[in-house]
Amino acid sequence: MLLKKRQRESAEINGSSMADIAFLLLIFFLVTTTINVDTGIGMVLPPPLDPEVEPPPVHQRNLMNILVNEQGIIVMDDVRTNINDVQTKLIDFIKNPEGSEELAEDPLKAIVSIKTVRQTPYRIYIDMLDEVIGAYALLRNEAALANYGREYGSLNKEQRDAVNKIYPKKISIAEPDPE
């Protein structure tokens, strides 16, 4: 009897295949994983308009109307503009270095209004929006360098907020006219 008991198999679970199982799982997750970072242009839509409340009056000179029509032509304040000139024109409009009567009084008051029609090609719209965001990025970087001597990207949160206050991003997406 005693001898028989001793000959029993050991109670341990054989762990030598664990590595194989783990490898198998590892390969599965390796294959299925897609490490992709989502990138895009962040925007905040305007809240829905209340028909009973009058919109606050905006001085025409503080408003930059950008229209992208069905042929993908960009019109800034009734002037046809090449996509490459959008950024410089916008910076001029926001900063208004010469104090022109036609351009924004103050960067704080400058509003960019983007208008499209239903047939506007999406790609042109994004290209144009990219230029607008780029103009603000340039201005903020400039302000960051002037005030803190560092690039906008390396500022901390409070400094960033301070710079954002100098050049607030006021972009309004207007609804297309009903046809």
Partner 1 sequence: MANFKKKQAGTKQEVPTSAMPDVVFMLLFFFMVTTVLREVTLKVKVDLTKASNIEKIEEKRLVSYIYIGPERLPGNKFGNDKVQIDDSIQEDIGAIRTIMYDKLLEEQRLIVSLRVDENSEFGVLTDVQEELKQAGTLRVNYSTKNEN
Residues that bind partner 1 (CB under 8 A): 15, 18-19, 22-23, 25-26, 29-30, 32-35, 37-48, 68, 116-123, 125-127, 129-130, 133-134, 137, 173, 175-176
- Minimum distance, C-beta of residue 31 to partner 1, in the bound complex (Å): 10
The SS3 assignment for 86 reads helix
Instruction: Record the tokens describing residue 8, joined without a space.
Output: 């029993």
Q: Which CB, 7 or 14, lies closer to partner 1?
A: 14
Which of residues 25 and 106 has its CB atom nearest to partner 1 in the complex? Answer: 25
Q: How far is CA 46 from the centre of its chain?
A: 15
Q: How far apart are CA 42 and CA 129, in angstroms?
A: 10
Closer CB to partner 1, residue 13 or residue 44? Answer: 44
Q: Give the separation between CA 98 and CA 78, rounded to whole angstroms.
A: 21
Structure-block tokens of residue 53? 């409340």
- Shortest distance, position 74 Cβ to partner 1, whole Å: 13
For the CB of residue 7, give the shortest distance to partner 1 in the complex, in Å.
Answer: 28
Using the minimum distance from each CB to partner 1, give the nearer residue, 61 or 170.
170
In this structure, the chain runs to a length of 179
Q: Considering the complex, what minimum distance in angstroms separates the CB of residue 41 from partner 1?
A: 4
- Judge whether 86 and 132 are in contact, CB under 8 Å: yes
